């Protein structure tokens, strides 16, 4: 009996108008989104390679880094066609604030990315995240809102249950057949778009290296679509009229997709406020000025006492350098303390926001897909760690050797205690590992699975008691 019901549902769906509408939308939107995303990546990759080339041509020696400053570049993600994530808003350049200075340098983050068409920024990219979280979830509720209540109004459900057909077989056949018909167009369009890009040579990576990420993205997409599919089935089982079901589902869709994820960010800012980046930069600048004043006061005090204490010029210079080195270390320590405190608070605020947002299945899909695409917070944290290591290397190998010595008779002597013709250190960019990504997004996968189970179980129980009269 289950097989007969399953085939019946399959045939009804394959011959319906909505199946061809879904197939047409998938075949248009998914290949177009993947193609546009890949072309956008190629454009940003060319910009990155050109910027890196110009920088390396102008920074062949230590002297170039000393007097021009140093820069680290973050390359674009080749998987950004899956999710642009934070790619546009996150910094992709880190450069030294100071040049030819005895003070420890710190690097600031810049974003020199731009959109060819600024209007696109208002709408957002047409990537896989948008297609799944907006188009496919909407189609899922449209596909299921009349599964139970619609058939009740038409009288077909009553006719089926008048026979000796177990109710659990009816609901299982509807779930299996409808979900299969909904997913087939999505899978066909996704495979077709990737195949076309590979044949045209647009994909900048080997298929084997990206296969785990594509598999995770597809599995995550199935779980999100399934969550809204089962939610639609549940609401359809709870209502007696199809129009009531579609109104309730549209309200749920708007709230879960458009309102609640944004509301979670606002709530986290209210519950756990954190200083803005501008205030932190101002605080660090005040610390630097205060440190420089204290250092100069100690040097002046040394110079005033050097003549009376009988110190030689060499001893005076050595003590000056010791004082400056002490205040350099003190400045680095104070900077690190400020940054670690504000970083800890920001991470706490983001953790609160992300945990609140996980109450919506959409949030359990959007952020994980960004992490899989190297356009999320994990890759940004890795970039910051790379920049921090580069900054420490610059201070150790270059800027700490740039020395300033004040003379007893006035004036200042500045010199570099190192080889200015040596090759400068290069910035090393690293990608986060697949294991780290999976570990981070595992709670979201588990929650999406739980949402599917809860919605389906509730729909199953409700249908067993559904009044078809």
* Helix, coil or strand: residue 415: strand
Of 113-117, 190-194, 260-264, 317-321, the one with minimum mean pLDDT is 113-117
DSSP 104-166: PP-EEEE-----SSTHHHHH----HHHIIIIIIHHHHHHHHTTTTHHHHHHTHHHHHHHSS--
Q: What does the pLDDT read at residue 295? A: 87
DSSP bridge partners of 71: 95
pLDDT in tens, 14-61: 788 888 888 899 999 998 888 888 888 888 888 899 999 999 998 888
pLDDT in tens, 169-187: 888 888 888 898 889 999 9
pLDDT in tens, 377-412: 898 889 988 998 998 888 888 887 777 666 655 566
Give the chain's mean pLDDT. Answer: 84
For residues 147-161, give the mean pLDDT: 75
> Is the pLDDT assigned to residue 414 strictly greater than 90?
no
Confidence tier at 451 by pLDDT (50, 70, 90): very high
Confidence tier at 145 by pLDDT (50, 70, 90): confident
Confidence tier at 100 by pLDDT (50, 70, 90): low
Percentage above 90 pLDDT, the chain? 23
Instruction: Name the residue ranges covered by the structural domains of the chain.
Output: 1-271+358-469
Q: Rounded to the nearest 10 degrees, how much is the dihedral formed by the CA atoms of 78, 84, 90, 91?
A: 30
For the record, the structure tokens of 367 come out as 């952020």
């Amino acid at each position: 009996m289950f097989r007969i019901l399953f085939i019946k549902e399959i045939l009804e769906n394959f011959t319906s108008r909505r199946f061809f509408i879904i197939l047409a939308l998938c075949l248009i939107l998914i290949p177009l989104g993947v193609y546009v995303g890949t072309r956008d990546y190629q454009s940003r990759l060319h910009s990155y390679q050109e910027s890196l080339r110009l920088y390396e041509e102008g920074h062949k020696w230590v002297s170039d880094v000393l007097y021009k400053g140093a820069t680290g570049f973050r390359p674009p993600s080749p998987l950004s066609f899956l999710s642009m994530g934070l790619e546009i808003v996150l910094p992709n350049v880190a450069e030294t604030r100071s040049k030819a200075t005895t003070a420890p340098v710190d690097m600031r983050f810049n974003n020199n990315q731009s959109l060819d068409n600024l209007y696109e920024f208002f709408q957002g990219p047409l990537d896989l995240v948008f297609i799944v979280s907006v188009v496919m979830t909407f189609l899922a509720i449209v596909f299921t809102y009349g599964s139970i209540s619609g058939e009740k109004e038409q009288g077909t459900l009553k006719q089926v249950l008048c026979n000796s057909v177990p109710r659990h077989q009816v609901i299982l056949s509807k779930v299996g057949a409808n979900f299969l018909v909904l997913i087939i167009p999505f899978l066909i369009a996704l495979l077709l778009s990737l195949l076309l890009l590979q044949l045209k040579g647009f994909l900048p990576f080997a298929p084997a290296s990206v296969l785990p990420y594509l598999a995770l993205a597809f599995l995550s997409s199935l779980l999100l679509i399934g969550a809204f599919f089962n939610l639609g089935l549940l609401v359809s089982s709870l209502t007696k009229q199809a129009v009531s079901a579609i109104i309730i589902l549209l309200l749920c869709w708007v709230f879960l997709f458009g309102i609640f994820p944004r509301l979670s960010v606002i709530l986290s800012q209210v519950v756990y406020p954190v200083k803005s980046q501008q205030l932190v930069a101002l605080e660090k600048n005040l610390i630097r000025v205060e440190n420089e004043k204290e250092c100069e006061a100690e040097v002046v005090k040394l110079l005033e006492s050097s003549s009376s204490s009988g110190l030689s010029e060499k001893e005076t210079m050595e003590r000056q350098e010791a004082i400056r080195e002490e205040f350099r270390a003190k400045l680095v320590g104070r900077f690190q303390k400020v940054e670690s405190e504000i970083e800890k608070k920001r991470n706490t605020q983001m953790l609160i926001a992300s945990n609140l947002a996980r109450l919506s299945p959409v949030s359990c899909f959007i952020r994980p897909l960004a992490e899989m695409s190297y356009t999320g917070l994990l890759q940004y944290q890795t970039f910051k760690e790379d920049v921090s290591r580069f900054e420490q290397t610059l201070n150790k190998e270059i800027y700490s050797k740039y020395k300033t010595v004040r003379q007893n008779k006035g004036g200042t002597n500045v010199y570099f205690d190192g080889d200015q013709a040596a090759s400068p250190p290069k910035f090393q960019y690293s990608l986060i590992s697949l294991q780290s990504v999976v570990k981070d997004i595992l709670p979201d996968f588990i929650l999406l699975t739980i949402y599917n189970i809860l919605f389906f179980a509730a729909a199953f129980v409700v249908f067993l008691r559904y009044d078809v009269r």
